[in-house]
Structure 1
Amino acid sequence: MNVGWSFLIFLVLLLIPWVGVGVLGLQGLFVTVIPYVCFLIFIVGLVYRILNWAKSPQPFKIPTTCGQQKSLPWIKHSRLESPFNTFEVVLRMVLEVLFFRSLFRNLRADLQGKKLIYGSAKWLWLGAILFHWSFLIILIRHLRLFTNPVPSVIQFLDYMDSFIHSFGVPPVYITDILIIVGLSFLLLRRLVDAKVSYISHGSDYFPLFLILGIVITGVLMRYNLKIDVYAVKQITLGLATFKPAVPEAKIGTIFYVHLFLVSVLAAYFPFSKLVHMIGVFFSPTRNMPNNNRAEMHVNPWNYPVKHLTYAEWQERFREVMENAGIPIDEEVEKEEHEWYTIYGPNKNLNL
């Protein structure tokens, strides 16, 4: 049911620009108004999510670890699995964001009879790598449409992505093939795997349909349904310089479908699960070092606590102690006592 509704909404989104441009001739609406409105929603929504994450207190040290924590000098600790300082946290984050290190170790569990069998799940890691890296490269490649002249870095990336010229003209981009393979795997995994399908919602299927629609329309424009690239460049440069204009040359309806789906994705991004690509940097399970034994983590929700030394405590309850027959240590002096941690005196604790 979830997949059905998601696909139905996707089909409606496909029909909107098809009817709006192909039948009603509203090119100006889909070239100027909708992209700017969706981009504004993207910026405002993303800023809201980031500020909301940034101001969320972190009451506990909860970094996810699966290695030896740093303790005594003669015990070797795991720098990546249990980072102790900021450098080690950054190193783990880089490997996590760029190479999905934790997903590479992921296991799948199957119940066979009365036995729980664990097995490798490297295919999920490979599918995620193919999709995310291809999407990033394609996004960078598209910057050539918004710049004039095109930076040499983007030209080099474009050349490396299309170095296979044996399939004819235009050259086939490798990332076009890989992103379709990766997206197809991620979608089929949710449709075929009963366990994954059971826990999947419409918010899991809809982004896959939307991105797959963007990719397919883009591939069709490049290899099958030819469009006026010069007119497209006019539109994109106009959007980038805030001087939008509808070109006089006729562009195929497929371009407006592609642009509309991209605009919808931008507006939908801050409110979807796709925003995890930003949220991972604000996750306390990832961005906090595991140094509880060396540094005290103060809960920002706590009210200021007044700690008493033994001398102050004894002075406060002297009468009660005397009535109860508890001996009073007369040799205790206030100035000789400080607040101690297990590592020694700490006069800078803001408690």
Structure 2
Amino acid sequence: MNALYSLLFVFLLVFIPLFGVGLGHLNTIFGVCIPMTAFVIFILGFAYRIFKWGKSPVPFSIPTTGGQQYAYDPETFKQSKWDNPTNGFQTFVRMALEILTFRSLFRNSSASLHEVKGEPVVAYASAKWLWLFALLFHYSFLVIVIRHLRLFLEPIPFFVNGAEFMDGILQIGAPVLYQSDLLIIAGLLFLLFRRLADAKLRYISLVNDYFPLFLIIGIAASGIYMRYYAKVDVIAIKELTMGLATFNFHVPANIDVSFYVHVFLVSVLLAYFPFSKLMHLGGVFLSPTRNMPNDSRIRHHVNPWNDPNIKPHSYEAYEKDFGPMMAEAGLPLDNPENAKGTEEA
């Protein structure tokens, strides 16, 4: 039902510009007002979330690790530097690998329950498909965003032309078919199918898990339709987008309604982005479980909120205070003399 609600809501969003532009002729509203408002919400919302996360205190070293920690005998126990970093450079490499290659997702595994001789047995297996299609989706999305910069910049930067050339290097069809258009749809459909097919994942999936998938599928599908079927007037679209970029707003009259559907869905995504799980785009850089070195055994971390009037209670002092009770309970003592207790105890 959560998937159905999300799908119906995206269909409703598609009909809004269809009626608004097709029947209401509100071209300026859907071509200028809504996109600019969505962009402002995106910038302010993104900055607010980053600022709020940046203010969150992290007094202790709490990284999530996935390999051998630095040992005092490094010849015997080889440190896994990129999974268990102990300094700034190793942490930087770990973050770069995580952001650029989804390193932690590469270790994704699946768990399934089987019966062996009448006994339930849990089996684990490698599951690289999620890593692969997530990588395809994110990089395709990045290439598409870079390609769209040609609509907002003049002259067009060399890296935009380079990305567009490499994306259409196979020279399939006219207009040229971009590989990123196919790969982003493949990645999105896999991520959606994974949520629908896996009963465990489907059980914990909410509307805000399905809605971004259907919304981005709608954006990609409307863009593909606009380019390969409606074949909209690109010159008129660039005239509009350059007006948005330079605040010299002008809406040409000969733009197909499919463009406004595409722009409206993108505007919804921009406005929704800072308040959704999609904010992992910025949050990954501020995650203390990723961006901190694991040096808790090398450097003493002191909580800055500690009350200076409250002295730390060492284990030695703890054992002196509660030695008789620990001995009575059968707990081992570092110093057997503490079993006798003190006058205070």
Instruction: Tell me whether the two structures share a fold, i.e. TM-score over 0.5.
Output: yes
Mean Cα deviation higher: 75-84 or 14-23: 75-84
CA distance in 2, matches of 1:265, 1:32: 16
Instruction: Quote the residue 2:40 is aligned against.
Output: 40
1:307 shift after superposition = 5.8
Match in the other structure for 1:271: 275
Q: C-alpha separation between the residues in 2 aligned to 1:265 and 1:303?
A: 46
**2:20 aligns to what?**
20
Q: Tell me the number of residue pairs that the alignment of Structure 1 and Structure 2 aligns.
A: 309
Please give the alpha-carbon distance, in whole angstroms, between the structure 1 residues aligned to 2:173 and 2:264.
29
Secondary structure at the aligned position of 2:230 is classed as: coil
Point out the more displaced range, 2-11 or 59-68. 59-68
CA distance in 2, matches of 1:300, 1:223: 60
1:304-323 equivalent positions in 2, closer than 5 A: 304-305=308-309
More displaced, 50-59 or 21-30? 50-59
Q: 1:31 & 1:325 partners in 2: Cα distance?
A: 83
What whole-Å deviation, never above 9, does each CA across 1:300-341 have from its counterpart, x for those lacking one?
332335769xxxxxxxxxxxxxxx999xxxxxxxxxxxxxxx
8 Å Cα contact 1:103-1:125 kept in structure 2:
yes
Q: What's the offset of the Cα at 1:140?
A: 0.6
Mean CA deviation greater in 156-165 or 60-69: 60-69
The Cα of 1:5 is off from its aligned counterpart by 1.3
1:56-110 Cα offsets, whole Å, 9 max, x none, are 1114321011222223154432111110011111100111111111111111100
2:137 pairs, out of 131, 135, 157, with: 131
Amino acid paired to 1:271? F
The 1-side partners of 2:274 and 2:6 are apart by 18
Segments of structure 1 that go 5 or more residues without pairing to the other structure are 309-323, 327-351
Matches within 5 A, 1:36-115: 36-72=36-72, 74=74, 75-113=77-115, 114-115=120-121
Matches within 5 A, 1:1-351: 1-72=1-72, 74=74, 75-113=77-115, 114-165=120-171, 167-248=172-253, 250-305=254-309
Secondary structure of 1:224's partner? helix
Deviations, residues 267-286 of structure 1 (Å, cap 9, x unaligned): 00000001111101111110
User: What amino acid maps onto 2:155 in structure 1?
Assistant: P
Output the CA distance in 2 between the equivalents of 1:147 and 1:137: 16
Q: Which amino acid aligns with 2:212?
A: P
CA shift digits 1:187-211 (9 cap, x unpaired): 1111111111111110000000000
Compute the TM-score of the two structures, normalised by the length of structure 2: 0.86
Residues 292, 162 of structure 1: alpha-carbon distance in 2 compared, 3 angstrom cutoff: same
**In 2, Cα distance between the equivalents of 1:292 and 1:45?**
34
- Structure 2, gaps ≥5 residues long: 313-341
Amino acid of the residue matched to residue 244 of structure 1?
F
Comparing 233-242 with 72-81, greater Cα deviation is found at 72-81
Computed over aligned residues only, the root mean square deviation of the Cα atoms, in angstroms, reads 1.7
Equivalent position SS for 1:84: coil
Which amino acid in 2 is paired with 1:185?
F
The separation in 2 between residues aligned to 1:133 and 1:266, in whole angstroms, is: 18
Give 2:334's aligned residue: none
- Residue type matched to 1:251 in 2? I
Amino acid at match of 1:12: L
Tell me, in whole angstroms, the C-alpha distance in 1 between the residues paired with 2:105 and 2:188: 17
Question: Does the CA contact (< 8 Å) of 1:218 and 1:258 recur in 2?
Answer: yes
Task: Give the fraction of aligned pairs with identical amino acids, expressed as a percent.
Answer: 54
Tell me if the contact between 1:131 and 1:182 (Cα under 8 Å) persists in the aligned partners: yes
Q: Provide the rounded CA distance (Å) in 1 between the counterparts of 2:311 and 2:218.
A: 62
Q: TM-score, normalised by structure 1?
A: 0.85
Q: Secondary structure at the match of 1:289?
A: coil
Counterpart residue type for residue 39 of structure 2: F
| Structure with max Cα Rg | 1
